[in-house]
Structure 1
Amino acid sequence: MTSAGDTSKGVASACRRTLRDEWRAASVGMGVVLVVMTRLFRLWELHPRVPVAASNDAVQEMARFKNMLVSGWYSTSDLVGVPYGQDLRDHHVGDPLHMAVSWLLVNLTGEPALTLNLFFFGSYFTVFLGAYAGSRMLDIGQWSAVSVGVLYTFLPFHVVHGPSHLLLSSYGAVPLFVALAVRQMGDRPLVDSLPGIRSWRTWLGWVRQPAHLAAIVIVLLGATTGIYYAVFMVATLLFSGIVAGLAHADRRRTSVALAMSLGTGTVVGAQFVPIWWFQRQVGSNSWIVQRGLHDIEYFSLRLSDLVLPVNGHRFQVLADLQNESRELWPLGEHAEAIGLVGLVGLVLLVVVASARLVRGLAGGRHGAMALIAGAVFVLGTVGGGATVLGVFGLTYLRAWGRISVVVAFCAFAAVGIGLDRVRSRLRGSSALFVVALVVTIGVLDTNPRFPFVPYDHMANAWASEKAFVHRVEDLLGEDAEIFQLPIVPFPENPPVYRMSDYDHLLAYLHSDTLGWSYGGVKGRASDWQQRLAGLSADELAEAVAGVGFDGLWLDRFGYGGELAEIETLLGLPALEGDNGRLAVYDLRPVRAALVEDLGSDVVERDAAALIEPVTVGLREGFYGLELGADRRFSWAPERAEIRLQNPTTDTRSVLFSFVAASAVEGQWVLDVEGLPAISRFPLTTDGTFVDLAIEVPSGGLSLNLRTDAPRLETTDPREIRFRILDPLIEPAFD
């Protein structure tokens, strides 16, 4: 009988042997990655402490890193979303391993911009290692595996998502779980069976077997490096397990796949426990994620996205092919191309797998990868499996086109197998030349141009923004609080004129002490800012000065023709940016005048009424917000609950209104319960305006809605009887 100590020594010995055998080829491969990356991205021109990208989601990523410096973790900060601060537990990042690495990097460097650069460029090495290891798991030769790793690392997916979708650019776990799935379908699975319900010693011995430990590590990597990759892994493993169970007439193969999927689900579910606990305490937030079937279709995977040339190809005739495809709908993310070499790999998969099938041979590696690539394509394509899941309400994940990275690895692995065949027939420099030629063609084909704003231009803009924020500190004081215009909901808001989403967060990155109004999560306390809508610029300035803001930040890129009137009402700014985009107004004299005219008690009372509004939440029964004809609405069954949340210790008087409409033609009624008396309203498909005067106690009040309207007969599996549109709570000023 083998002891636990002997098993541990065996695992350690196997690890040392693997490292000894693989380190040379892997090191050469990483050297190639460094050379290619240096040339493609002109790293000799890089300003390390200036981000390679500073717009859209890249800014939000850096803001998360800044939160880690301010509060210790990415989810909270007192310096944004002032006066309530920012709490991102509604806007969860399902990448605990990536966030842990980011935390380490930002605490070592102290700079969010440098952390972004290190993570992004470092991801090229981790993706290579994942692809190299995955290739070796499939018995691809070392130098062919290096080729696969380099080709896979420089997919357009990597740089298109790149700094903006920073965590998505670290997709090194994908080749590992694809290779695991292929192995599970073949004659040499990493895990052929589970030990059953036995003693913990039996399980410990099972886990310590190198192949089993490797499978566990792969599952953990897939489950902790992104919710998309975790879901893709579950889909891949389940499919491979079912196919393997049928092909080998072995239910244990399917049981292993189910166990791996269950383990993945457990790890992913554990990541959402803090969100569940948070929302259990303060209520769910139906505004934070607003995604529907149209989003899934828009970001689906098309065959043309995979096989057509990359956007901006160096040969104009090929670039024109891609441009013509943009006339088609849906547009997607334009990150799915696998290039000419990848296309050859797909053809090899189909041809070889088909030939083996016709000849009555086992599918082998080609057959397994062809099945996996085909299955995930069907899942992610337009009108495919993801859309079917969306019909049943699973719309949280919308960008299923990202599953292209699974197809891409299958394609490049087929190329790697082909290179092994070539190398077996050629010797020495001839074989090396062929491998180098394939890699060169593949990389140049999928990486046609420099993808970033010129580094010097970015450095100048970064320095200018930083200097302007420091001037604000000098003017208003290091601990001043700044209200930012235009008012932009956070997160995920469309561009406002020439402003990109998250532009307001750039100021936060340049100061360790100033407080900023932008960044509070929509659907929570930060919604008080929406109550300023309709005020003139001078009235708004008085309102936020009364709240306690010391300055007003104006981003001129966020306005159209109305900008001239706004600036006329505000007067001359105290500061202006070098490029004329930004202006700051001193609100301290405005507040002093308010206190002198109204008294401090009145100013504080009005401020409290403004920033502590009663909020509305759609609770049990409602199916989530949808958007149609520029109106937000939510369908509901026979019964549904609306929760009015009062954050203060006092009872608040509010006017709550919404439009209610039935799904079926006819004359029906809607009862609103939870008030001193039941309120009854007529209900038709045309809609009824519901207006309620309500006293909301501290902590909140639940309104229960009930209708006698019949269920809509439709293919939609939901019980749809009525909907509410445009819920609104009017300001509770005295």
Structure 2
Amino acid sequence: MKKNKSLLLEYSILAIVNFVILSFYLHIDQINLKIPMLYSGDALPTLSFLKQIFIGEFSFFGVPESHNLSAPFMHSLGDYPTPMFADWLIIKFISLFTNDYFLGFNLFVLLSFFVNPMAMFYVLRKLRVGILLAIAISILYNVLPFHFYRIGHTFYINYFFLPLLTYYLMMMLNKKPLFFKYSNTQKKLFFDFSKKNIIIIFVLLFSSTWNYYYTFYFCIFVFFFTLIGYFIYRKRHYIYSGIIVLLLSIIPFVINMLPYKTFTKINGINAQVAQRGFAESEVLGLKIAQLLLPINTHKIGALRDIRARYDQSAPLVNENHFATLGIIGSIGFILLLLMLLNINNKSSIQNRLAMLNIIAVLYATVGGLSVLFALIISPSIRGHNRISIFIATFSLIAVALFLQYLFKKYQLSKVSIFFVSMFIMLIGLYDQIPGGATFKTNSLIESTFNSDKKFIQQIEDKLKRYSSNMVMQYPHMSYPEQPVLVKMLNYSHMVGYLHSNNIHWSYGAVTGREGDIWLKSLEALDIKEQIKVLQKGGFTGIYIDRRGYIDNANMLESKLKEILNIEPIISEDKNKSFFDIVPTDHTIMKFSGFEKNFYGWESNQFGSFGWTSGSAILLLQNNRANNLNCNLAFNVGTLKNRNLKIMFNDKLLRDFFLQPGLNKTVLLEELRLNPGSNRLSFITDTPGAQPGNGDPRSLAYSIEKMKIICGGISVGNLIE
């Protein structure tokens, strides 16, 4: 009981100190919880996940889907896995206390600023670091530059599992293998079902679906520490221990991925989404210089200038500049490197940290083992600079252990320990917290948020006369990971979904899937034809983000005013407009397009030029009620020798051999298109391959200058 009271007091002191620091340095006491801390870029899809979970639309055990996105079809994330079951559970728990998902987002972010230091403090106290020093280091762990810079990548900032996982990794090199106990009577090792091990098992299971990058790196460390444990002690139980840890970390993740793999098996590989190349592991790799350099918004001008000189001239500067450790973490990092020069006791805590640190550096650094992994096994994990948060964990623990050693060696008084700990904490706070970092609500975010909220409410009020609503959003932007369109950032269209309750928005169509192909085909038509197709399909409105147009959408809006003879609703910030249209039917006009294994037309113009990744299927859509005879003409080319068969509705039309540099013109005459979908299959016996010019795609054969001619008229990809 006395021990529990002592622990409660320690954690209470840490919580109070943490809150005081967050209030003094970051003004957390002045936060407006109703306005999201971030409201652009990657924060928007994160907010959409929260909304889906809050309203019960999110699937915890399947592929996340939404019936309010990707109109006139359905939004599905089968091509873009989010295997983060543990995160979804925490968010669902937050939703039990509020139905405001914007508030929920802020609470999820704030959670990281209170749980991260608690986890580090727990581990430091387990390692017998004094309470004052443990509090100081835990506070610095909480305000690492990584924490602030990664708020946009929200699922990286709750890194509280990492101190625990580090502690478990160090336990793997104990004289007694993790999960095992020694029987004095039988002189053998047996599995230990102790309370401690049950807790470790639970943490490993839960953390495995928290962040797949963290799970992946943890498994890398486990693999190497399993081998190190075996070579130090020469006992097979260290192998067993490592296998158990790996299984506990991998199996839940694999189970979490099964729905996505099933989706891919049913729908085929989407060659246009999240295709990674091994070179990206090089580009986004870890750089030791960036670990040690100061932050780019440092309060000291001279240090800020040093960082600016590096960022302006050095190659491969990207998100990896988030990896800065700060001066205290850098000292720990250097200490860990120096320890490698004199490893006498390989099983000491300090040397275990040194081994973890060097494994992280060797694996993730530019040109390191991660590139070989990406080249030989899989390039899916690419942003290896993100391992820096593990390195920061190792480094700060090392600083704490080193200082604790000095305190003990020189028998410092409690007063001296207090002042040394305070000094270290204050230096770290000044050094690590980016200039301008604050929890105060950003005025631009607040005004934009309120403008969008009011604007979307006006749209809903305008459309409430209809029982169901679909709104076309211009310009079309595919989902996910799209470049900036003029001044319109990726995911900007998501604000419509976030602020509405009863509208099915066109945004959210996944690149290369049916909805995306349909919307791109629609946008290629003349605007009068587009409105005709939208009205026939049951759409009730047109939403325009003016930032996506060079002329601020002046030409598009002028045409819509002329055609519809109405004035649009304009948002308060003047960035968005809305025109309501009257639906004439609920029949979705289908466009012809490739079903799978096609990277899309490179100019977004049907028939221009595009690459396949292997055997592909072109769906020829006949929107008429009767059969129609059409001719098809196109050219095909290849990067390597291959056979290619062309079949129409299971009937073989052509079978020929392709050679690099010798494009072949194909003319298919008198194709009888049945009403609805008709399949033109391109079947090859040779898979695609990367061209070797930096393009990460696997390219098989190209198709260009495709024309569909019906009744002597080129009809494009809309046959009606």
TM-score of Structure 1 vs Structure 2, range by shorter chain? 0.7 to 0.9
Shift in CA distance, 341/656, structure 1 to aligned 2, threshold 3 Å: farther
- Is 1:338 aligned to 2:354, yes or no? no
Q: How many Å apart are 1:726 and its aligned residue?
A: 7.3
Match of 2:88 in 1: 99
Measure, in 1, the Cα distance between the counterparts of 2:202 and 2:29. 36
Counterpart mapping for 1:45-194 below 5 A:
45-73=30-58, 75-162=64-151, 164-187=152-175, 189-192=177-180
Bigger drift between 106-115 and 718-727 goes to: 718-727
Q: Quick check: 2:285–2:385 contact (8 Å CA) kept in 1? A: yes
- Structure 1 alignment gaps of length 5 or more: 1-15, 196-201
Counterpart mapping for 1:325-724 below 5 A:
325-326=310-311, 327-333=313-319, 334-355=321-342, 357=343, 360-362=344-346, 364-392=348-376, 394-424=378-408, 425-451=411-437, 454-477=441-464, 479-527=468-516, 528-561=518-551, 563-571=553-561, 573-588=567-582, 591=583, 607-610=588-591, 615-618=594-597, 633=611, 640-643=614-617, 660-664=636-640, 669-672=643-646, 675-677=650-652, 679-686=654-661, 688=663, 703=681, 705-706=683-684, 722-724=700-702
Using structure 2 for the length normalisation, give the TM-score. 0.85
Match of 2:13 in 1: 28
Shift in CA distance, 510/719, structure 1 to aligned 2, threshold 3 Å: closer
Q: Between Structure 1 and Structure 2, how many residues are aligned?
A: 681
Q: Quick check: 1:186–1:365 contact (8 Å CA) kept in 2? A: no
Deviations 1:403-433 (Å, cap 9, x if unpaired)? 1111111110111102212432211221111
Q: Quick check: 2:179–2:191 contact (8 Å CA) kept in 1? A: no
Match of 2:712 in 1: none
Shift in CA distance, 332/417, structure 1 to aligned 2, threshold 3 Å: same
Give the AA of the match of 2:362. V
Counterpart mapping for 1:244-259 below 5 A:
244-259=229-244
Bigger drift between 94-103 and 528-537 goes to: 528-537
Match of 1:8 in 2: none
Q: How many Å apart are 1:99 and its aligned residue?
A: 0.7
Q: Quick check: 2:132–2:417 contact (8 Å CA) kept in 1? A: no
Q: How many Å apart are 1:79 and its aligned residue?
A: 1.6
Q: Quick check: 1:332–1:401 contact (8 Å CA) kept in 2? A: no
Give the AA of the match of 1:413. I
Q: How many Å apart are 1:90 and its aligned residue?
A: 2.9
Deviations 1:484-539 (Å, cap 9, x if unpaired)? 11100011111111111111111211121122111122232212101023323343
Q: Quick check: 2:546–2:575 contact (8 Å CA) kept in 1? A: yes
Measure, in 2, the Cα distance between the counterparts of 1:537 and 1:710. 37
Q: How many Å apart are 1:270 and its aligned residue?
A: 0.2
Identity, in percent, stands at 20
Q: Quick check: 1:626–1:634 contact (8 Å CA) kept in 2? A: no
Shift in CA distance, 446/280, structure 1 to aligned 2, threshold 3 Å: same
Measure, in 1, the Cα distance between the counterparts of 2:633 and 2:142. 53
Q: Quick check: 1:71–1:77 contact (8 Å CA) kept in 2? A: no
Give the AA of the match of 2:170. V
Shift in CA distance, 257/570, structure 1 to aligned 2, threshold 3 Å: same
Q: How many Å apart are 1:373 and its aligned residue?
A: 0.9
Deviations 1:572-594 (Å, cap 9, x if unpaired)? 63211112111111212xx5xxx
The partner residue of 1:274 within 256, 259, 264 is: 259
Shift in CA distance, 662/575, structure 1 to aligned 2, threshold 3 Å: closer
Q: Quick check: 2:470–2:541 contact (8 Å CA) kept in 1? A: yes
Bigger drift between 562-571 and 650-659 goes to: 650-659
Match of 1:3 in 2: none
Q: Quick check: 2:180–2:191 contact (8 Å CA) kept in 1? A: no
Measure, in 2, the Cα distance between the counterparts of 1:67 and 1:584. 25
Deviations 1:292-326 (Å, cap 9, x if unpaired)? 22322221111112111112111111111221222
Q: How many Å apart are 1:183 and its aligned residue?
A: 2.0
Deviations 1:97-156 (Å, cap 9, x if unpaired)? 111111221343111110110000111222222222333444434443333322222111
Q: Quick check: 2:71–2:507 contact (8 Å CA) kept in 1? A: yes
What SS does the aligned partner of 2:543 have? strand
Bigger drift between 399-408 and 32-41 goes to: 32-41
Shift in CA distance, 668/96, structure 1 to aligned 2, threshold 3 Å: closer
Measure, in 2, the Cα distance between the counterparts of 1:627 and 1:410. 46
Shift in CA distance, 440/87, structure 1 to aligned 2, threshold 3 Å: same
Measure, in 2, the Cα distance between the counterparts of 1:502 and 1:713. 30
Shift in CA distance, 476/662, structure 1 to aligned 2, threshold 3 Å: closer
Shift in CA distance, 509/659, structure 1 to aligned 2, threshold 3 Å: same
